[in-house]
Copies of this chain bind each other. A is one copy, B any other.
Amino acid sequence: MKTEIIAVGSELLTPDFQDTNSLYLTAGLNAVGIGISFKSVVGDDEADLARVLRTALARSGLVLCMGGLGPTEDDRTRETLAKVLGRKLVFHEEIEARIAARFRRRGLPMSPSNRKQCYVIEGAEILDNPHGTAPGLWLAAGRRRIALLPGPPREIRPMFEDHVLPRLAGSGQGPVLRRILRLTGLGESAMETLLGPVYATVPPDVAVTTLASPGELSIRLSSFGRDSRAAAEARLERLVQAIERVLGPYVYSRDGASLEAVVGALLKGKGLTIACAESCTGGLIGHRLTDVPGSSGYFLESAVVYSDRAKTKRLGVPKALIEEHGAVSAPVARAMAAGIRRTSGADIGLAVTGIAGPGGGTARKPVGLVYIALARSQGVAVARHIFFGRREDVKFQSSQRALDMVRKTLPKPPRKPL
């Protein structure tokens, strides 16, 4: 059985946009033992879309088609597939009621344009969409199966996980388990070198892929074995342990959790509070920490002290210290960390000061130079880094290393096997 992913949307045929949903769907499908044979992208033109759907149905047994389910004129996927299959569209009042309720919760009337989303292709199952108005559809046509899914990632992801994957159970090779290790603090080639001996021990029914972006690495393990779930789990666990033996200090998460969530759980577990003083990160550390639900239990505040005046006024960094060493320096980073800890009353004060670029660098203090300091009752530690990349990359890597410095400072909770 061939599997095909179709992305619909004229913007995906421009130089500015690219389908990325298919990567996510591929990962999920691979995890249940289904490989992809074809990917297609087509615009909103109905004749083109009809051609692509016909081609897909002729060559693939499973077709996942995403996009073009919205309320606008150019959203034609539902209508076009109905024509291609020679089936009617049927109005479903329960969908209308659900969309109307969604608008009502927002104090708005349902827009007439949303009515088209209430039509369902004859014989299709409706896939609920709690994150948007467009329901998905699941159809069988002969031996072929087709899913119509919405385009926005926040809508397609839960729908795929909750409604598509369960319908595919048993289609692939067998219970496929996945593990995602996330790492920071080392580069991709260093990781590959350290992993070398581990690669040699990977069983044939386990796939290992690595992904790298500035400041963040991940190792994805998928077990495709035909044996029991317990055996597959044991196999993955042995591999995770082998990886941790060589990369242990860099692995911050064994279950895909974000670094801010890991740090948050550590703080919560120890009953500690944190406050930040951010210069070049501009608020990103506070933003990341507060992305975690319940972070108000340990995150007190962040002073985004972009100007020198703010560093002095908010944190008591002596003006003379800034004048002597410069705002981007180890002594100022230390004073910022100690200052935010003292003025906030937090257990941990975390400070970052650096040059995010593209301007502002000098020969002695280049773009990417960043000092990170951590203050506790025991004293203040400071680390100097040089990060590469664009402004956003320098900001992200700074936030990543700062959060990781907190993680490494806190005692690890007792290890529980996943």
Contacts and interface: CB of A to CB of B under 8 A. Distances in A.
A287 B290 contact: no
Count of identical protomers in the assembly: 2
A176 B74 CA distance: 20
A13 B27 contact: no
22 contacts: A10-B207, A11-B211, A14-B26, A14-B30, A16-B211, A38-B48, A55-B55, A70-B212, A71-B188, A73-B192, A107-B386, A111-B190, A111-B193, A113-B192, A154-B214, A282-B286, A282-B299, A283-B283, A283-B285, A290-B306, A296-B307, A302-B306
Nearest to A360: B296
A199 B37 CA distance: 38
A26 B37 contact: no
A378 to B, nearest CB: 23
A193 to B, nearest CB: 6
Given A37-B42, A281-B290, A296-B306, 19 more contacts: A13-B36, A15-B27, A15-B30, A15-B209, A15-B220, A16-B209, A55-B55, A111-B189, A113-B192, A154-B389, A154-B393, A280-B290, A282-B291, A283-B285, A290-B306, A293-B358, A300-B310, A301-B303, A303-B304
B283 A287 contact: yes
A177 B145 CA distance: 40
Closest 3 CB pairs of A and B: A282-B290, A283-B286, A283-B283
A93 to B, nearest CB: 19
A43 to B, nearest CB: 7
Contacts of A344: 310
Interface in A182-222: 187-190, 192-193, 199, 207-214, 220, 222
A357 B296 CA distance: 11
A20 to B, nearest CB: 7
Interface in A26-56: 26-27, 30, 35-45, 48, 51-52, 55
Nearest to A366: B105
Specify the main secondary structure of chain A where it touches its partner. mixed
A79 interface: no
A18 interface: yes
Nearest to A189: B111
B15 A395 contact: no
A302 B314 CA distance: 11
A39 B211 CA distance: 22
A246 to B, nearest CB: 15
A228 to B, nearest CB: 22
